[in-house]
Amino acid sequence: MTSETLKKLLVEELRDLYDAEKQLVKATAKMAKAAKNPELKQAFQYHNEQTRGQVERLEQMFEVLGKKARGKSCKGTKGLVEEGQQVMEEEFEDEAYDLAIIGAGQRVEHYEIAAYNSARSMAVQLGMKEVAGLLQESLTEENQTEKLLTQLSKTLLKQTGLSRPAEAGESTKTTSGAGAKKQASRTVSRQDNSAHFTTDHDEIRQWAEERGGKPAYIRGSGGMGDIGMLRLDFPGFSGKGSLEPIDWATWFRKFDDEKLALLYQNKTSHGDKSNFNRLVSREMASGAFRA
């Protein structure tokens, strides 16, 4: 095979992926809306942001290759999205509904991982380092999402209250307790636009203050003696007055009481400083640590 043929094949793969990601920007937004579990919702919201970055990353690749950014109808993704749509229309109980959505999301992730893997191998073979690097960035994000979804499905299955015998070779060790402290802060992948999880107070405060962020809570979300849901308030993002400022000590007390972790991003996929953050449970964060 000539390298010209392989390059043609790579461009075809990228066109397929370009169409797939564009379909998935819409699909992940719908899944985020449909998910009932708040962590699952956040996971889809986060992946929706990543997917937009992946579309732009593919446009960058077309530019490097001197090709017009143009998609080629990806029927595989179309089918998976349609199946996901059907799942969202079914009437399951909360956990079962979320598990069904995770199943649909996992199918998409595995499809994308396969596509990015093969495109990346072609780019490597062609010596196209920049394209291979960009494909690897998206591949890392897809793998990360796949692991997060796996972890969330495990958590949801546990919440069903149905016990099951431990599987052979399965470890019951978790990263909670003393182990979690050591791992208080870890990065899921090496790219600076990737997700970092932390429970470290200094790290959170520093990250927020570098962006002008202040500790706050959602007004009216609390109850008797409870201040309510925590948030970080950034200049220009005050949620139209729905956030009430509090001091860091109170914020961190609640943060620890509720066993929360902060998922944050340093830079957007364009390389700008990112304010993206979500408060998630430590259980979810430790799942991502294990991943």
Q: How far is the CB of 42 from Fe ion (least distance, A)?
A: 17
Between 37 and 54, name the residue whose CB sits nearer to Fe ion. 54
Contact indicator for 243, 231 with CB cutoff of 8 Å: yes
Between 83 and 244, name the residue whose CB sits nearer to Fe ion. 83
Q: How far is the CB of 30 from Fe ion (least distance, A)?
A: 15
23 binds Fe ion, rule: CB under 5 A:
no
Between 112 and 283, name the residue whose CB sits nearer to Fe ion. 112
Cα separation, 123 vs 135, whole angstroms: 9
Between 32 and 232, name the residue whose CB sits nearer to Fe ion. 32
Q: Which of 23, 28, 37, 54 is the binder for Fe ion (CB under 5 A)?
A: 54
Mention every residue, 6+ apart, whose C-beta is less than 8 A from residue 282. 176, 180, 199, 259, 260, 261
Binding track over 61-100 against Fe ion, x by CB under 5 A: ----------------------------------------
28 binds Fe ion, rule: CB under 5 A:
no
Cα separation, 268 vs 265, whole angstroms: 7
With CB under 5 A as the rule, give the number of residues binding Fe ion.
3
Q: How far is the CB of 54 from Fe ion (least distance, A)?
A: 5
Q: How far is the CB of 142 from Fe ion (least distance, A)?
A: 6
Cα separation, 40 vs 157, whole angstroms: 13
Task: Select from 49-57, 59-67, 233-241, 259-267 the region that touches Fe ion (CB under 5 A).
Answer: 49-57
Between 112 and 233, name the residue whose CB sits nearer to Fe ion. 112
Neighbouring-strand partners of residue 142:
none
Task: Select from 51-59, 98-106, 226-234, 259-267 the region that touches Fe ion (CB under 5 A).
Answer: 51-59
Q: Which strand ranges, in their side-by-side order, compose the sheet holding 185-187?
A: 185-187, 196-198, 260-264, 277-281
Q: How far is the CB of 108 from Fe ion (least distance, A)?
A: 8
Q: How far is the CB of 18 from Fe ion (least distance, A)?
A: 11
Neighbouring-strand partners of residue 125:
none
Q: How do beta strands 260-264 and 196-198 pair? A: antiparallel
Between 115 and 128, name the residue whose CB sits nearer to Fe ion. 115
Mention every residue, 6+ apart, whose C-beta is less than 8 A from residue 152. 37, 39, 40, 43, 98, 102, 284, 287
Between 51 and 269, name the residue whose CB sits nearer to Fe ion. 51
**Residue 183: Cβ-neighbour burial (10 angstroms; 0-12, 13-18, 19+):** middle
Q: Which two tokens stand for residue 58?
A: 């593919």
Cα separation, 49 vs 29, whole angstroms: 9
Between 37 and 144, name the residue whose CB sits nearer to Fe ion. 144
145 binds Fe ion, rule: CB under 5 A:
no
Continuous segment of H or E residues that includes residue 56: helix 38-64
Q: How far is the CB of 102 from Fe ion (least distance, A)?
A: 16
Site for Fe ion, rule CB under 5 A: 51, 54, 112
